[in-house]
């Protein structure tokens, strides 16, 4: 008697084609996506519909979409194990978002913290899409009957202001490490990272936020425990410590960068992934949307 294999739960996550992904994005989310492919039915999405809630240059958005697909593949997203697609190529997202809009109240959306923060940057001319983006997020998740939406665990902080989260939009480029920074730049940024005058390497976020942040980055890159890192750099200065962190991160990212640049030269392959995987995503999404359309009263022939 044969037993059927258990149906894998569905994991869904998306990332905007912003053009600059940091080690915070990688260690906090993307690295875990690669591991999840083995245990879940995984859908990973380049959310270009979400991206246009802020003003975009069309040519730049198109280019960054290709770059995002290439980078996710280079990081280890396997098109044989996961569905990797572009959000705007699956029209079910937009249709379900509109249907959900018609059952969503203005008061609910106006209380969203992110809307309050982002709307301040747009001044008086606030776009409806920015106000409404949580509805699209709900549609993204519901379409695939998602079981799990992973949230980044590693909280990588700014190299210059370790009390703040590392951000790709930081005006100070020394504050973050881009996944595409070359090795010399990476080492240089770590050498300039803010620490303290104590010169002892141990983990204490309140007393030593800069050193603690570097230790957590080193731990993410090497898999070593914080205790092991403390022992490794016992009696050594911050110069040796920062150099080790910088070189380790650079070595970790180099093969990813090489594969990314190779894939960018394979435009036809990237487009094939986009089209084939959009169709796969659409087939799943339509199962949910067709039920919603029936409940609403739409005619489907």
> Rg of the chain over CA atoms, in angstroms?
22
Supply the pTM of this predicted model: 0.90
- Provide the pLDDT for residue 199: 87
CA distance 87 to 285: 11
CA distance 264 to 276: 18
Among 3.30.470.20, 3.20.20.80, 3.90.1150.10, 1.10.240.10, name the CATH number for the domain at 173-259: 1.10.240.10
CA distance 24 to 165: 8
- Provide the pLDDT for residue 123: 64
Q: Which residues are catalytic?
A: 118, 165, 168
What is the H or E stretch that residue 55 is in? Answer: none
- Provide the pLDDT for residue 125: 73
Domain residues of the chain, as ranges?
10-152+267-296, 173-259
What is the H or E stretch that residue 61 is in? Answer: helix 58-75
Residue partners of 284: CB distance under 8 A and separation at least 6: 43, 83, 143, 144
CA distance 243 to 219: 14
> How confident is the prediction along the chain (301 residues), in pLDDT tens digits per residue?
555 667 889 999 999 998 789 999 999 889 999 999 999 999 999 999 999 988 899 999 999 999 999 999 999 999 999 999 999 999 999 999 999 999 999 888 888 777 766 666 666 777 888 888 999 999 999 999 999 998 766 889 999 999 999 988 888 999 999 999 999 999 999 999 999 998 899 999 999 999 999 999 999 999 999 999 999 999 999 999 999 999 999 999 999 999 999 999 999 999 999 999 999 999 999 999 999 999 999 998 8
- Provide the pLDDT for residue 7: 83
Q: Any idea which fold 10-152+267-296 has?
A: Rossmann fold (3.40.50)
Which residues of 1-135 form beta strands (DSSP E)? 10-15, 41-46, 82-86
The residue written with tokens 């603690």 in the block is: 212
């Amino acid at each position: 008697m044969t037993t059927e294999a258990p149906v894998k739960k569905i994991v869904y996550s998306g990332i905007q084609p912003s053009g600059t992904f940091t080690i915070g994005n990688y260690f906090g989310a993307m690295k875990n996506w690669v591991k999840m492919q083995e245990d879940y039915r995984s859908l990973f999405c380049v959310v270009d519909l979400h991206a246009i809630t802020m003003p975009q240059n069309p040519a730049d958005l198109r280019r960054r979409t290709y770059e995002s697909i290439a980078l996710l593949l280079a990081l280890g997203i396997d098109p044989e194990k996961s569905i990797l697609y572009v959000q705007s190529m699956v029209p079910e997202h937009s249709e379900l978002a509109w249907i959900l809009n018609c059952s969503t109240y203005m008061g609910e959306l106006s209380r969203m913290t992110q809307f309050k923060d982002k709307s301040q940057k747009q001044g008086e001319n606030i776009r409806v899409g920015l106000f409404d983006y949580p509805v699209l997020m709900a549609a993204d998740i519901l379409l695939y009957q998602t079981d799990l939406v992973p949230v980044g665990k590693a909280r990588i902080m700014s190299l210059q202001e370790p009390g703040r989260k590392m951000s790709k939009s930081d005006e100070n480029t020394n504050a973050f490490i881009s996944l595409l920074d070359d090795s010399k730049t990476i080492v240089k940024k770590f050498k300039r990272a803010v620490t303290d005058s104590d010169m002892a390497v141990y983990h204490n976020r309140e007393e030593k936020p800069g050193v603690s942040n570097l230790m957590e980055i080193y731990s993410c890159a090497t898999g070593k425990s914080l205790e092991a890192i403390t022992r490794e750099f016992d009696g050594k200065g911050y110069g040796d410590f920062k150099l080790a962190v910088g070189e380790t991160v650079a070595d970790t990212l180099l093969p990813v960068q090489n594969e990314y640049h190779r894939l960018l030269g394979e435009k036809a392959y990237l487009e094939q992934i986009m089209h084939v995987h959009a169709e796969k995503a659409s087939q799943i999404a339509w199962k949910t949307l067709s039920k919603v359309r029936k409940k609403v009263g739409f005619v489907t022939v």
